[in-house]
């Protein structure tokens, strides 16, 4: 070290002249080299700090996990014992405290929501640059009494930037006086950008996860059977109604070809609506009775087209209309029966026609139709079994007490299945 305090590099070669020794020195000023080395070390430490921070906060995309990691790291780097991390509240333009460290509960409540420009966080978000203040330079007088109450002396605000846009800010506080160098301010700025990008990714992931959850909830709330199949007929997705109706677990259904798993076929079904959609590249609809699902279904299939215009899947929606169809048939049968009873056909033809209509709605191998004689004097019944008239009998001496209840000829009294 030279007398002026600057670092020097000294060389003292020895020379011999006769019997005497003498030394000649060369002194070089290496201040620039030493400063460069120091700057290099500091830069390396800064890059290592940013790298370590990046590794920590990018370990997860869960916003609830990223926030405490980011705040704790900022506290450690600045040696500030308290802090809070704020994010803009969507649609309201205010900063909301999302996580804090070291704040008393009542203080956290008082600084829970800040306007843009209010407090250290509001100022940093507004200016988009780090700010360092002592308690005497605090920018918001309405919050100053609360800070003094808990003994705050030094404060730092770090904007959280993502692609040049402020998405929030970190506010750090300490009960001790701190001196922040210019280099540390630049480091804080880099930290804000690093954390801002990580938080933006976490926010986007959170939004996607929320949308996915809402979509799945809606998807499973639909009572119609919905499946999504690829071009090879493999089932990619299915809703809860489909799993329940098929009687299969997700692990048993997903990834299998529908015709192989459900119908034990080696090729797609004839007149398959999914096949028709794959061929025509447009929605298809229709009705079909399914023996596998034991019902009548109305089908709607829709192509799924990617950004390149390629059809990658088909959405298949099946609506159970079995009950609707049954009611339609029953209504038609009632109308036909009224027409038959009002016709001038002979008894035999009327009975056969009634039997034919009733068989449309009554699944039975055996049917008895009982007819009353006029004035309830007697009755006659006809018995069918497997569409064949087995017996015809005329019964006299009908119960005289019950007879008066039946005043209309050919009125049906009883029908049963056995």
236-282 pLDDT tens trace = 999 999 999 999 999 999 999 988 888 888 898 888 899 999 999 99
pLDDT value at 298 more than 70 = yes
Cα dihedral 230, 232, 238, 241 in deg (nearest 10) = 130
Query: Given this model, what pLDDT does residue 332 score?
Result: 85
Query: Given this model, what pLDDT does residue 346 score?
Result: 72
Residue 254: CB partners within 8 Å, gap ≥ 6?
235, 236, 237, 238
Does the structural domain 224-320 have CATH classification 3.40.640.10?
no
Query: Given this model, what pLDDT does residue 299 score?
Result: 92
**From 71-80, 305-314, 385-394, 409-418, the region with the lowest mean pLDDT:** 409-418
Query: Given this model, what pLDDT does residue 395 score?
Result: 37
Tokens encoding 62: 């869960």
Say if CB 201 and CB 209 are below 8 A apart. no
Q: Provide CATH 3.30.450.40 ranges for the chain.
A: 58-209
Beginning with the edge strand found earlier in the chain, give each strand of the sheet holding 379-385 in spatial order. Answer: 366-372, 379-385, 388-395
Range from 84-93, 120-129, 374-383 that averages highest in pLDDT: 120-129
Confidence category of residue 417, pLDDT binned at 50, 70, 90: very low
Per residue, the 3-state secondary structure of 220-241, as one string, reads HHCCCEEEEEECCCEEEEECHH
Say if CB 100 and CB 106 are below 8 A apart. no
Query: Given this model, what pLDDT does residue 410 score?
Result: 36
What is the gyration radius of the CA atoms in the chain, in angstroms? 44
pLDDT value at 167 more than 80 = yes
Confidence category of residue 81, pLDDT binned at 50, 70, 90: very high
Please report, in angstroms and rounded to a whole number, the separation of the first and last CA atoms in the chain. 117
Tokens encoding 86: 């704020």
Q: Which residue has the tokens 């040696």?
A: 79
Q: Provide CATH 3.30.450.20 ranges for the chain.
A: 224-320
Query: Given this model, what pLDDT does residue 374 score?
Result: 56
Query: Given this model, what pLDDT does residue 63 score?
Result: 79
Tokens encoding 64: 């609830």
Q: Report d(CA 155, CA 143) in Å as an integer.
A: 13
Q: Report d(CA 215, CA 218) in Å as an integer.
A: 5
Half-sphere exposure of 294 toward its Cβ, with a 13 Å CA cutoff?
3
**How many angstroms from the chain centroid is the CA of residue 348?**
66
Provide the residue count of the chain.
418
* 19-29 pLDDT, tens digit each: 555 555 556 66
Tokens encoding 58: 């990018």
Tokens encoding 85: 């991390």
Q: Report d(CA 219, CA 237) in Å as an integer.
A: 10
pLDDT value at 350 more than 60 = yes
Cα dihedral 49, 52, 54, 60 in deg (nearest 10) = -150
Neighbours of 364 (CB within 10 A): 15
Beginning with the edge strand found earlier in the chain, give each strand of the sheet holding 94-101 in spatial order. Answer: 113-115, 94-101, 82-88, 165-174, 154-162, 131-134
Phi (first) and psi of residue 143, to 5 degrees: -95, -15
pLDDT value at 2 more than 60 = no
Nearest Cα to Cα of residue 225 among 236, 238, 212? 238
CA–CA distances in Å: residue 330 to residues 105, 128, 233, 335: 69, 74, 37, 9
| Mean pLDDT, residues 275-302 taken together | 89
pLDDT value at 415 more than 50 = no
Confidence category of residue 382, pLDDT binned at 50, 70, 90: low
Nearest Cα to Cα of residue 118 among 165, 75, 153, 86? 86
CA–CA distances in Å: residue 354 to residues 73, 100, 147: 86, 81, 92
Query: Given this model, what pLDDT does residue 403 score?
Result: 37
pLDDT value at 224 more than 60 = yes
Residue 262: CB partners within 8 Å, gap ≥ 6?
246, 292
Q: Report d(CA 357, CA 350) in Å as an integer.
A: 11
Which pTM was predicted? 0.52
pLDDT value at 227 more than 90 = yes
* 63-72 pLDDT, tens digit each: 788 888 888 8
**Interstrand relation of 295-305 and 388-395 (parallel, antiparallel or unpaired):** unpaired
Question: 58-209 adopts what CATH topology?
Answer: Beta-Lactamase (3.30.450)
Q: Report d(CA 305, CA 310) in Å as an integer.
A: 5
Nearest Cα to Cα of residue 406 among 368, 378, 381? 378
| Mean pLDDT, residues 327-344 taken together | 81
| Mean pLDDT, residues 1-10 taken together | 54
Residue 99: CB partners within 8 Å, gap ≥ 6?
67, 68, 71, 84, 85
């Amino acid at each position: 070290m030279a007398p002026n305090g600057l670092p020097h590099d000294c060389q003292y070669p020895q020379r011999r002249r006769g019997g005497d020794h003498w030394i000649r020195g060369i002194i070089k000023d290496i201040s620039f080299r030493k400063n460069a080395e120091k700057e290099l070390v500091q830069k390396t430490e800064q890059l290592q700090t940013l790298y370590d921070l990046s590794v920590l906060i990018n370990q997860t995309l869960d916003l609830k996990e990223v926030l405490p990691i980011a705040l704790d790291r900022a506290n450690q780097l600045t040696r500030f014992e308290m802090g809070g991390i704020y994010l803009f509240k969507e649609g309201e333009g205010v900063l909301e405290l999302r996580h804090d460290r070291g704040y008393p509960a009542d203080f956290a409540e008082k600084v829970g929501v800040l306007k843009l420009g209010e407090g250290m966080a509001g100022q940093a978000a507004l200016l988009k640059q780090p700010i360092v203040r002592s308690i005497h330079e605090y920018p918001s007088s309405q919050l100053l009494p609360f800070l003094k109450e808990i003994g705050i002396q030094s404060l730092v605000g770090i904007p959280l930037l993502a692609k040049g846009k402020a998405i929030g800010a970190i506010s750090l506080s300490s009960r001790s006086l701190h001196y922040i160098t210019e280099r540390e301010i630049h480091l804080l700025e880099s930290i804000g950008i690093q954390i801002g990008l990580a938080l933006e990714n976490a926010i986007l992931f959170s939004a996607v996860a929320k949308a996915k959850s809402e979509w799945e909830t809606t998807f499973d709330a639909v009572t119609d059977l919905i499946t999504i199949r690829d071009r090879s007929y493999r089932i990619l997705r299915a809703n809860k109604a489909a799993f329940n109706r098929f009687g299969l677990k997700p692990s048993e259904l997903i990834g299998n070809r529908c015709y192989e798993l459900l119908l034990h076929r080696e090729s797609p079904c004839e007149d398959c609506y999914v096949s028709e959609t794959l061929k025509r590249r447009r929605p298809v609809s229709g009705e079909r009775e399914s023996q596998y699902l034991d019902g009548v279904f109305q089908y709607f299939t829709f192509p799924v087209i990617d950004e390149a215009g390629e059809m990658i899947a088909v959405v298949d929606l099946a609506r159970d209309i079995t009950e609707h169809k049954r009611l339609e048939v029953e209504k038609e049968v009632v109308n036909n029966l009224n027409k038959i009873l009002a016709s001038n056909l002979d008894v035999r033809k009327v009975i056969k026609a009634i039997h034919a209509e009733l068989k449309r709605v009554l699944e039975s191998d055996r049917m008895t139709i009982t007819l009353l004689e006029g004035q309830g004097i007697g009755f006659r019944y006809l018995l069918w079994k497997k569409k064949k008239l087995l017996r015809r009998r005329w019964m006299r001496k009908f119960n005289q007490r019950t007879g008066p209840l039946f005043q209309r000829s050919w009125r049906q009294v009883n029908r049963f299945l056995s």
